[in-house]
Amino acid sequence: MLSVALEHEEDLAGWREAARRLASAAIPPDRIAWQVGEAAQDLFSSTEPLPPPGPPFAVPRAFLALAESVICHSDPERFSLLYAQLLRLRANLEILEDKADPLVRRLDSMAKEVRRDMHKMHAFLRFRQLSDGEGGERYVAWFEPDHHIVRSNAGFFVRRFAGMHWSILTPEVSLHWDRERLSEGPGATRAQSPDGDPVEDVWKTYYASIFNPARLKVKAMTKEMPKKYWKNMPETALVGELIAGAQAREAQMVKTSRSRIGDNAMAAWEALRREARGCTRCHLHRCGTQTVFGEGPLDARIMFVGEQPGDHEDLAGKPFVGPAGQLFDRALGEAGVDRSRTYVTNAVKHFKFERRGKRRIHQKPDAPEIDACRWWLDQERLLIRPPITVALGATAARSLFGKAVTISKLRGEPQTAIDGGEAWVTVHPSFLLRVRDDREEEYARFVADLRAIGRRADALALPS
C-alpha cells in the first residue's frame, strides 16, 4: 500500500498534487493510505515515492469547489472519497450532476456540513479584550469547531477585523493576527482563553433590555444556535434566565406602558453610545476629535446611513451638520420626510482625513475600517429595528450589504441587507456638492429617491 503524507488536516494543495500523480498512474483508492502530519504509518504502507507527474487533465470547476469544502470535514475517509470521485470524473465528467449517486450525495452532504460549521464560527465566535502589557489592546477568542475549518476561515476574520490585534484559539490550531501578518500556533485549551472583559457588562445590559419574550421560539433558537456555542458568547449567559422568565416577562410587557419601554431602549442606546466613545476597533480613533454616534428617535421608521463624519461633524460631535447635512435637510423637506422622525448615523464613526496646512481633507474609509466599525452600526440597527435603512453612498452600501456594490444598479428599488432587513440605496448628499454637470437634475433625482422612500415607510406603517 502506498502512503501519502499531508502537512495538516486542511492540506488541499498537498492532496491535489498527490491525487493528480496517483490518478495519472491509475492507482486505485484501496492501494493508498492518506496520512496527516506525524501520524503513525500504516503497518502495510510503503515509503516509496509518488508516481511522477503525468500529462495534465481537466476536472469540472464544481469538483474543485467541492474539494475545498470536503477537505475540511472531520471524516478521516474524506481524502480517499475525494480521490475515488476524481478517478470517476476522468471517465465521466457529468457524474457530479447525478444527485442520486451515493458518493455524490455523501460528498455534497459533507460539504454542506462544513459550510454550516464555517457559518457557525462567523456567527458565534466572540473576541474578548485584553491588555497586551504595553499599553495596547489585543483580542482573544475561543472556538471549538466540529470540522477542520480554522485555516480556511482565517481570511474572513482578517478582512473583518483587520485593524485589531487578535488571536483565535481552538483545540487543533491557533491563529494570531498582528494587523499585518497572520501566523499559526499550536492548539489550546478552554482554560487558556479569557473569561470576560468590561465591555461584556455593557453588552449584557443592552441584550437583556432588547430581549423580546413574545418573539421567543426556543426550538428554533437552539437549532440555529446550539448550546455548545453558548459558553463562548457573553449574552448567552443570560439566555437561560431570560427563557425561564419569558412567560412572566411577556405578561409584564403587556401591562407596561410604552413610556417605560422607551426608557429601556433609551438606556440601552445611551450605554451603547458611551461605549462607542472609547472605541479602538481600528486606527481611526487616533485621527478624529471624537466618536460621532448616530442620533434620532429610537422608534424611527427610516434610518439613514452615511459614510463618515466630516470636519464639521467631527468638531460638533453630531452627524450631518456640515454643508452636505444642510443639503440633506433641504432635500428631505422637499421630499416630505421629517428629519426629526428619522435616525441618522454613519458607517464609520470617526473622521478620516489628510491634513493640508490648516485644513483637514476628507479621505474615503478603507474596507477594513468599514468592517471594523460595522459592529456599532449593527447594534444601532438591532436596537432601533427600522423598517427601512437607507445607504447614502457606496461606503454605507458596503457596510449594509457586506460587499462592494454599484449604486446605479441598486438605486430606486428595495433591497435586502446582510441581516435580512429592507434597505434602499441612493447617493450621498456630498456627491451633489461635487457634481458639476446636471447638478439640478441630480438633485431632483435625489429628492425623488427620498420621496419614494418616505412613501414606502408610510406604507409599511399602515396596518395590514
Total number of residues shown for the chain? 464
Residue 209: Cβ within 10 Å count:
17
Three-state DSSP at 2 gives strand
> pLDDT band at residue 395, thresholds of 50, 70 and 90?
very high
pLDDT the model gives residue 125: 86
Task: Say if residue 201's pLDDT is above 70.
Answer: no
**What cell was used for 388?**
427601512
pLDDT tens for each residue of 330-369: 999 999 999 999 999 999 999 999 988 888 999 999 999 9
Q: What is the pLDDT of residue 124?
A: 82
Q: Is the pLDDT of residue 216 over 70?
A: no
Band the pLDDT of 203: cuts 50, 70, 90: very low
Cell numbers found for residue 196: 470576560
Residue 242, judged by CB atoms within 10 A of its CB (0-12, 13-18, 19+), counts as middle
Give residue 46's identity as a one-letter amino acid code: S
The position carrying cell 481611526 is: 284
- Which domains does the chain show, CATH number per domain? 2-120 (no CATH), 125-192 (no CATH), 198-255 (no CATH), 279-461 (3.40.470.10)
Across the range 60-78, mean pLDDT stands at 95
Tens-place pLDDT, residues 19-37? 999 999 999 999 999 999 7
Q: Tell me: pLDDT of 456 over 50.
A: yes
Across the chain, mean pLDDT equals 85
**What integer is the mean pLDDT of 394-405?**
93
Contact call for residues 84 and 15 (beta carbons, < 8 A): no
Percent of the chain beyond pLDDT 90? 59
Q: Which three cell numbers stand for residue 437?
A: 454637470
